[in-house]
Amino acid sequence: MEFFERFAIPHPSPAIYASMVVIALTVIAIIAGLTYFKKWGYLWREWLTTVDHKRLGLMYIISAILMLFRGGVDAIMMRAQLATPDSKLLDAQHYNEIFTTHGVVMIMFMAMPFIFGFMNYIVPLQIGARDVAFPRLNAISFWLFFMGAMLFNISFVIGGSPDAGWTSYFPLAGTEFSESVGTNYYMIALQISGLGSLMTGINMITTILKMRAPGMTLMKMPMFTWSTLVANLIIVTVFPVLTVALAMGTMDRLFATNFFTSSNGGMDMLWANLFWVWGHPEVYILILPAFGLYSEIISTFSSKNLYGYTSMVASMVIISVLSCLVWAHHFFTMGQGAASNSFFSITTMAIAVPTGVKIFNWLFTMWKGKIRFTVPMLYSIGFIPLFTIGGVTGVMLAMSAADYQYHNTMFLVAHFHNTIIPGVVFAMLAGLTYYWPKMFGFMLNERIGKWTFWALSIGFVLAFFPMYITGLDGQARRMYTYSESTGFGPLNMLSFIGAGIMAIGFVLIVYNIYYSIRYAPRNIGSDPWDARTLEWATHTPVPEYNFAITPAVNSVEPFWDAKKKKHVLFPEPLKKIHMPNNSGMPFILSAIFFVWGFSFVFAIWPLVIIATLGIFACLASRSFENDHGRYISLEEVEETEEKLGGAKK
C-alpha cells in the first residue's frame, strides 16, 4: 500500500478529481474511436513512424495548440483567483502549482514546439530541400519533446504538480521546501524535451548550411530561414547549460548532493545563475523565429521586398551574441555589487538597439507599399506598437537601480507578457493563418480571423496593461491573494475581464478551424497570397518529396522572380527521387524515455535500470541497421506531378 501512496495527489481538490475523470474518459474515447474506425494501422504507418518534416511539423503545431489551451486554463484560473480581494477560490498551494505549470507549459510546451513546427514545415521548403539533414533524428526530437510534455502534464493527476515557479529557484525547489515529487517532474520532463530541442538545433543548422538549393548563398536565404539558423545556433549554445543545471538539480533532489543547497558548500544562487544563462537566450530563441515570420508576412502583404535585408541579418547575429551577455538582469537584487549590475544593465539596454533596427526595417518595408489587410498582416501590424511597448518597459527594467522597485512585481509580469504575446503568440497565429492553405489546402475564414485578432488584442491590453499600474503600486507577483485595503481590486478585475476576452479569442480560433473545414472553398491553387519565396512554388498539397525538380535560385525572392521576371525556377528534367525510410524506432525510443522519466520521478530504481538498458538497446540496434532509404521511381514522380498540375509552371 505504501508503494502506491506516493502516487496520490498531495493537495487534492474536486477540480483535480474531475480532471482525472475527464482525462480517463478522453483516453478511453480515443482508444475506442481508433479501434472502432480501424485507424491504428493508419496512425502507425502515416504518423507515428513518419520521418517527413512536414508531418512532424504539423504534429508539433497540433501539440502546441493543445498545450496553449492547457496553459490557458491555468491562466484563467489565476486571473479568476486574483479578480477580487481575499478570494477563496484557490488556496495558496493550488495557486503555486498553477502559476508554475502555466509558465512551464507556455514556454517549453507551447511556444517552443510552435516555432519548431514552423521551422520543420517551412525551412526545407524555403531552401528547396527534400527534407531536413537528419530526418530520423528529427522524428526522435519530436517524440522526445512529446513524451517530455506528456510526462509533465500527468504530474497534476499522479503525484502532484511542481510548485516552485517556472524558474524553480533553489533552495525553494530543494527537497527541504518542495517535498512532493512535483519538482522531480519539472527536472526530468524538461531534461527529456530539452534533449529533443538540442537535437533539433543541430539538425536545423546542418540542414540550412548544407542543403540549400543551388544558387542560394547565405545572403540569398529568406529571412525566416536566417532567423531559424540564428535561433538554432543559440539553442545549441545554451541548451547544454540547462541540461547540466537540471542534472545537478535532479541529483540534489534524488541523491542528496549539495550543488544548490544553502549549506554544506552548496550555492543556491548558482541555480538562478545557470537557469538564466539559458533562460535569457531562450526568450530570444522564441522571438527570433517570430521576427522571421513577421518579415515574410510583412513583405508579402506590402507587395514589396523586405527593407534592409543586410541589417536584418546583422541585427540577428548581433542579438545572438548579446543575448548571451545579459542574463544577470534577472537577478539584479541578489546581492552582487554595483560594478557587475552596471555592466549587465548596459548590455541589456544595448540589445534594444538591434531590436529597434528591425522594427524600423518593418516600418520601411510597409512604407509606400500596397498593403493588404489580411489576418496575418493585421497580427503583424498589431505586433509592432504593442511589442515596442514591451521593449520599452524592458529597458526600464534594465536599469538595475530602478529594478529594485520593479523586480518581482506585476510590472515585470506585464513586461514579459507584453513581449511574448504580441511578439511570439501573435506571430504563431499570423504564421498559422498564413501557412494554413499550404498545410491543408484551404484558407481560414478571414472575417472570423479578424474578430479573433481584435478579441486577442483588446483582451491583451485590458488584461496586461493594468498590471503595469498595480505593479508600480506594489502588487507582488506569485501572491495568491491580497487584502482589500491595498486597492488592487478594481484593476485586477479589469485584468480578469481582459483574460476572458482573450479566452473568447482562442475559442474563436477553434470555431474558425471548424467553420473553414466545412465551408471554405478548396480550389485556391498553390499560391493564394501571391507570395514571394520558394515554399509557395510547391504544389498544394505538398508532395512528400517537396520539389520534383531542385529549384534554381537567383535572388532572395526566386518565386517572385519566376512569376514576374521570367526567372526559370525548374531548369532540369524530372529524375527518380531518393527519400528516407519511415522508422518506428524514434517513437519506441521516446516511449522508453517516458517510462525512464516516470520511474526516475518516483525513484523506482529497478524500472530506471530496465528502461536505461532499453534506451541503449535502441541506440545499439541503430548502429547495426543498414538503411539506405528508398527511391521514388520516375514514373511515380511523373504521375504525382501530372495529378497536381505539372512539374514546370
Partner 1 sequence: MKELFPAKQVMGFVFSLILTAIALLVYFLDLSFTAGLTILVVTAFVQALLQLVVFMHAGETKDKWAIYGNVYFMILIAMITIFGTLFLFVWDM
Where do contacts with partner 1 occur on this chain (CB under 8 A)? Answer: 205, 209-210, 233, 236-238, 241, 267, 269-270, 273, 277, 321, 324-325, 327-328, 335-337, 339-340, 343
287 belongs to the binding site for ligand HEM (CB under 6 A): yes
Question: Where does this chain touch ligand HEM (CB under 6 A) — which range of 60-68, 174-182, 418-426, 587-595?
Answer: 418-426
What single-letter amino acid sits at 608? V
In the list Cu ion, partner 1, ligand HEM, none, the entry touching 355 (Cβ below 5 to 8 angstroms by class) is ligand HEM
Q: Where are the alpha helices (DSSP H) in 441-542?
A: 446-472, 489-519
- DSSP letter string over 316-343? HHHHHHHTTS-GGGGGGGGS--HHHHHH
Q: Which is nearer to partner 1, 265 or 521 (CB)?
A: 265
In the list ligand HEM, Cu ion, partner 1, none, the entry touching 336 (Cβ below 5 to 8 angstroms by class) is partner 1
CB of 136 to ligand HEM, least distance (A): 31
In the list Cu ion, ligand HEM, partner 1, none, the entry touching 273 (Cβ below 5 to 8 angstroms by class) is partner 1
* Distance (Å, whole) CA 351 – CA 392: 12
CB of 424 to partner 1, least distance (A): 23
Number of other CB atoms surrounding residue 600 within 10 Å: 23
407 belongs to the binding site for Cu ion (CB under 5 A): no
Query: What x-and-dash track marks residues 304-333 binding ligand HEM by CB under 6 A?
Result: -------------------------xx---
Q: Which is nearer to partner 1, 267 or 591 (CB)?
A: 267
288 belongs to the binding site for ligand HEM (CB under 6 A): no
427 belongs to the binding site for ligand HEM (CB under 6 A): no
Q: Are 192 and 593 in contact (CB under 8 A)?
A: yes
Q: Are 281 and 319 in contact (CB under 8 A)?
A: no
In the list ligand HEM, Cu ion, partner 1, none, the entry touching 311 (Cβ below 5 to 8 angstroms by class) is none
* Distance (Å, whole) CA 10 – CA 75: 22
Give CA separation, 392 vs 294, 526, 605, in Å: 20, 40, 50
126 belongs to the binding site for ligand HEM (CB under 6 A): no
In the list partner 1, ligand HEM, Cu ion, none, the entry touching 241 (Cβ below 5 to 8 angstroms by class) is partner 1
Instruction: Spell out a b/e string for 456-486, using b for 16 or more CB atoms within 10 Å of the CB, else e.
Output: bbebbbbbbbbbbebbeeebebeebbbeeee
168 belongs to the binding site for ligand HEM (CB under 6 A): no
* Distance (Å, whole) CA 562 – CA 569: 6
Dihedral sign of CA atoms 213, 217, 218, 221 in order: negative
Give CA separation, 517 vs 54, 440, 512, in Å: 20, 9, 8
All cell numbers assigned to 457: 488584442
Q: Which is nearer to partner 1, 254 or 267 (CB)?
A: 267
Q: Are 327 and 271 in contact (CB under 8 A)?
A: no
Q: Are 278 and 198 in contact (CB under 8 A)?
A: no
415 belongs to the binding site for Cu ion (CB under 5 A): no
Q: Are 271 and 357 in contact (CB under 8 A)?
A: no
In the list ligand HEM, partner 1, Cu ion, none, the entry touching 53 (Cβ below 5 to 8 angstroms by class) is none
CB of 136 to partner 1, least distance (A): 20
Residues near ligand HEM (CB under 6 A), total: 25
Pairing type for strands 630-632 and 577-579 reads: antiparallel
Question: Element (H or E) spanning 234, and its range?
Answer: helix 223-255
Question: Element (H or E) spanning 630, and its range?
Answer: strand 630-632
Q: Which is nearer to partner 1, 89 or 270 (CB)?
A: 270
Query: What x-and-dash track marks residues 272-311 binding Cu ion by CB under 5 A?
Result: --------x-------------------------------
539 belongs to the binding site for Cu ion (CB under 5 A): no
In the list ligand HEM, partner 1, Cu ion, none, the entry touching 170 (Cβ below 5 to 8 angstroms by class) is none
Q: Which is nearer to ligand HEM, 230 or 508 (CB)?
A: 230
- DSSP letter string over 288-324? HHHHHHHHHHHHHHTTSPPTTHHHHHHHHHHHHHHTT
* Distance (Å, whole) CA 497 – CA 345: 35
Q: Which is nearer to Cu ion, 302 or 348 (CB)?
A: 348
Q: Which of 267, 270, 283, 497 binds ligand HEM (CB under 6 A)?
A: 283
Q: Which is nearer to Cu ion, 348 or 516 (CB)?
A: 348
Q: Which is nearer to ligand HEM, 348 or 538 (CB)?
A: 348
Task: Tell which positions 390-409 bind ligand HEM, by CB under 6 A.
Answer: 391, 394-395, 397-398, 403, 406-407
Q: Which is nearer to Cu ion, 280 or 539 (CB)?
A: 280
CB of 323 to partner 1, least distance (A): 10
467 belongs to the binding site for ligand HEM (CB under 6 A): no
Classify residue 180 as left (phi > 0), alpha (psi -120 to 50) or beta.
beta
* Distance (Å, whole) CA 319 – CA 608: 41
Cα-Cα-Cα-Cα torsion 454, 458, 460, 462, nearest 10 degrees, comes to -170
Query: Nearest CA to 162 among 78, 100, 226?
Result: 100
CB of 194 to ligand HEM, least distance (A): 17
Q: Which of 355, 457, 533, 540 binds ligand HEM (CB under 6 A)?
A: 355
The residue number whose beta carbon is nearest to ligand HEM equals 394
In the list Cu ion, ligand HEM, partner 1, none, the entry touching 589 (Cβ below 5 to 8 angstroms by class) is none
Q: What is the total residue count of the chain?
A: 649
Which residues would be at the binding site for ligand HEM (CB under 6 A)? 167, 283, 286-287, 329-330, 348, 351-352, 355, 391, 394-395, 397-398, 403, 406-407, 412, 415-416, 419-420, 423-424
Which residues would be at the binding site for Cu ion (CB under 5 A)? 280
